[in-house]
Amino acid sequence: MSVYDALKRVFGFDDFRPNQRGIVEALLGGRDVFAVMPTGGGKSLCYQLPAHMLDGLCVVVSPLISLMKDQVDAAKATGLSAEFLNSSQGAVERRRVQGLLENHQIDLLYVSPERFAMPGFIAVLKSLKMAFVAIDEAHCISEWGHDFRPDYLALSQISAHFPKVAIAAFTATATERVQRDIVEKLGLRSPHMVRASFDRPNLFYQVVLKENLNRQLLRFLRDHPNDSGIIYRTTRKSVEATAEFLQEQGIRALPYHAGLSDAERKLHQEQFNRDEVNVVVATIAFGMGIDKSNVRFVLHGDLPKNVEGYYQETGRAGRDGEPAHCGLYFSQGDAVKIRYFIDQIEEPHEQKIALEQLNHMVRLAKSNVCRRKSILAYFGEQYSLPDCGACDVCCGEVERIDATEDAQKIMSAIYRTGGKFGAVHIADIVAGADTQRIRQFHHDELKTYGAGRDRDKRYWRRMIDDLLMQGCIVQSDDQYPVLQLAEKGMEVLKGRKPFKMLRQKESVRTVTVDVGDYSVRLFNELRAERLRLAREQGVPPFVIFSDRTLREMARYFPTEESTLRMISGVGEAKAAQFGAAFLAVIGTYREAHLEEAEEMSVLQVPVEGPKKKKPKGATYLETLELARRGLSVEEMAAERNLVPGTIVAHIEKLMEQGERFDVDQFIDPKKRHEIEALFVRHTTDALSIVVEASQGRISYEEARLVRAFMAQDAF
């Protein structure tokens, strides 16, 4: 089987994303891999597809314990035998997984770096046939990375323990220096190298001057009432305060930080992943593992400590490839706070790295050029277009205004005070403040004193920030930094060059998702069905199908499994397990909205090759045969290895075709009468209304069955 055949069969995709095919083929050929791929670039497919095709165990090492269950659920949904081992499991569960492992019943195993370093675990792996080891978040092994973890250093022994096993190192963020460090520390042997573009075209970047953060966040969230998003804050206290404020304003928001118990963090993340809450407020330092594909925004309420962290955190938005918003609320005070903590670092080398990273982040926040261009430049990538069309600078949310005269006032104050004072004092001089320090040095006698009384000190501090950013003035690295003129600034001061600065316009655009024509109403019904199935299986909704896949269904209205399989993201295993349930929703909607459905393009069934197919309707007939044998819904689901919702969809479809069943075979008569009464009382055929009215006593499957029998009896 070719890699393309496997890609379509397993994942339902017709083609690879950039760089995926080369990585997959390298691993299939037993070659080491080093890959820098941005978040949302399809990294998991690069090791899941080879895991389907290779004989032997594939191990994924990841520090994101909170993500492992979702990753395993997603792998299982494609048909893999996948498990994980980490400290969150009890002894019984760990023994179960170890038993499967020793009996060669696992294709893909996720483990933490600490687990991989255990001698006993290494010994078990040496007794098995290993296909390859994939190391996720590989930048954690480098001290030059933004998230260095000492426990990762033990992974440098993998090549010694398994000299004939391929090693694949993946990271979303790595400068050239970090890349060299990773390859050297892991001992990768002539690896297939991939340095994908860091550009995420679907992300809109914006930097907003932070003034009243709570009010600014609330305004944004009011404009995005149904979107899922993450708000990052620096401290646990600010996380709690922001989450509490948003809850008081009616926003479904939860906190997430290291001060919460493991159970609380797990619950909050699950509620977010399962679309039960819209917003999670999280600490930047803690690093929240998010595999949710439909995050529509990431907001930073405080300045991140480094560009790598900022890039990785914003990368959690728009993993499905659809438009998403990345907003950074910035004030110079944030940088001062971070600098204070950097000054407390005792080890000089570590302090130097932290300061260098902070300075890069500040320059990015203050940049007066395309945000995307600045981010890519940090990672050594040149953006070729004149503007990106997807950041506040390029979209005209900010304007360049001539501020030569005001710049000269600041630089004149610096010049006349001999370059011996800091930003606060210089701003006070220009604003005409009456302070003891100004009187002490007789700076109220300077010609520049009070030259900017018509503006407040906040304006002059921002002017100083702009001058620093554009290299007109420099700031010393002393404990009490002072401002001094640069050569470029002298040119402006003497009137030989103009000075322009960026200012945000009053009206700021809101990013909207433009994904082409599709039935919004059908999309919402498909989302409801996905949520129902997700709750039934105990997995996040995106594990079943992504929003993009559902939108494509709502665009093409597939009517049978052969056309459903043409939808991107519908692989063989998912079509078998969930296809009937979604086709039933589409079919019901199509009948009720025939005119709308006919306006949409209908997929054509592709010409089949020599492979054998089940005859049309065979899967329904299998359910019919089991029903005639008197099996319940749950028994049929277990017999066919399907979810109960799919069996109910089969029964509903069979009844529409004229089949008759004894309703009491599938549902208790007392409960059936209760459900019928709720449908009549609420004069509705909407399942959600009846389920909610029952206050949890009735499931969606039960309501759907009764609705089908009521419809059949009406004719």
Is pLDDT above 50 for 112? yes
Measured distance CA(696)–CA(690) in Å, rounded: 10
pLDDT, residue 446, reads 94
User: Bridge partners of 170?
Assistant: 35
Is pLDDT above 70 for 251? yes
Question: What letters, b where the CB count within 10 A reaches 16 and e where it falls short, cover 633-665?
Answer: beebbeebebbbbbbbbbbbbbbeeeeebebee
In this prediction, residue 712 has a pLDDT band, given cuts at 50, 70 and 90, of low
**Residue 576 in tokens:** 């078998």
**Residue 190 in tokens:** 């002539």
pLDDT, residue 383, reads 85
pLDDT tens, residue by residue, 621-646: 788 888 888 898 888 888 887 777 77
pLDDT tens, residue by residue, 222-247: 988 888 999 999 889 999 999 999 99
How many CB atoms lie under 10 A from the CB of residue 87?
10
What angle in degrees, to the nearest 10, is found between the helix axes of 348-366 and 371-378?
160
pLDDT, residue 356, reads 85
How large is the average pLDDT for residues 120-144? 88
Closest CA to 202 of 322, 306, 326, 377: 322
Name the phi and psi angles at 692, rounded to 5.
Answer: -65, -40
Is pLDDT above 50 for 611? no
Measured distance CA(509)–CA(532) in Å, rounded: 35
Measured distance CA(232)–CA(285) in Å, rounded: 9
Question: What letters, b where the CB count within 10 A reaches 16 and e where it falls short, cover 236-259?
Answer: bebbbbbbebbbeeebebbbbbee
pLDDT, residue 511, reads 45
Is pLDDT above 50 for 504? yes
pLDDT, residue 219, reads 92
Contact yes or no for 54/104 (Cβ under 8 A): no
Is pLDDT above 50 for 268? yes
Measured distance CA(133)–CA(139) in Å, rounded: 16
In this prediction, residue 134 has a pLDDT band, given cuts at 50, 70 and 90, of very high
Measured distance CA(186)–CA(167) in Å, rounded: 9
How large is the average pLDDT for residues 373-380? 87
Is pLDDT above 90 for 29? yes
pLDDT, residue 612, reads 42
How large is the average pLDDT for residues 591-616? 56
**Residue 91 in tokens:** 């002894």
pLDDT tens, residue by residue, 554-578: 988 888 888 888 888 898 889 988 9
Name the phi and psi angles at 111, rounded to 5.
Answer: -140, 160
In this prediction, residue 507 has a pLDDT band, given cuts at 50, 70 and 90, of very low
**Alpha-carbon 92 to chain mean position:** 32
Is pLDDT above 70 for 479? no
pLDDT, residue 623, reads 85
Among residues of the chain, what percentage have pLDDT more than 70?
A: 91
Q: Map residue 50 onto helix, strand or coil.
A: helix
Which range among 252-261, 332-341, 382-391, 607-616 shows the weakest confidence by mean pLDDT?
607-616
pLDDT tens, residue by residue, 155-207: 888 989 999 999 999 988 777 888 898 999 999 999 999 988 888 888 999 99
Measured distance CA(663)–CA(321) in Å, rounded: 44
Contact yes or no for 580/87 (Cβ under 8 A): no
In this prediction, residue 600 has a pLDDT band, given cuts at 50, 70 and 90, of low
Is pLDDT above 50 for 508? no
Is pLDDT above 60 for 614? no
Query: Could you give all domains of the chain from N- to C-terminal order, each with its CATH number?
Result: 3-195 (3.40.50.300), 203-397 (3.40.50.300), 400-504 (1.10.10.10), 545-609 (1.10.150), 614-715 (1.10.10.1390)
pLDDT, residue 513, reads 42
pLDDT tens, residue by residue, 405-431: 999 999 999 999 999 999 999 999 999
pLDDT, residue 46, reads 93
Exposed (0-12), middle (13-18) or buried (19+): which is 444, by Cβ within 10 Å? Answer: middle
pLDDT tens, residue by residue, 135-162: 988 888 887 766 677 778 888 889 899 9
**Residue 219 in tokens:** 């305004």
Among residues of the chain, what percentage have pLDDT more than 90?
A: 32
Contact yes or no for 198/312 (Cβ under 8 A): no
Measured distance CA(355)–CA(347) in Å, rounded: 12
pLDDT, residue 217, reads 95
How large is the average pLDDT for residues 270-293? 77
In this prediction, residue 366 has a pLDDT band, given cuts at 50, 70 and 90, of confident
Q: pLDDT averaged over the chain?
A: 85
pLDDT, residue 440, reads 93
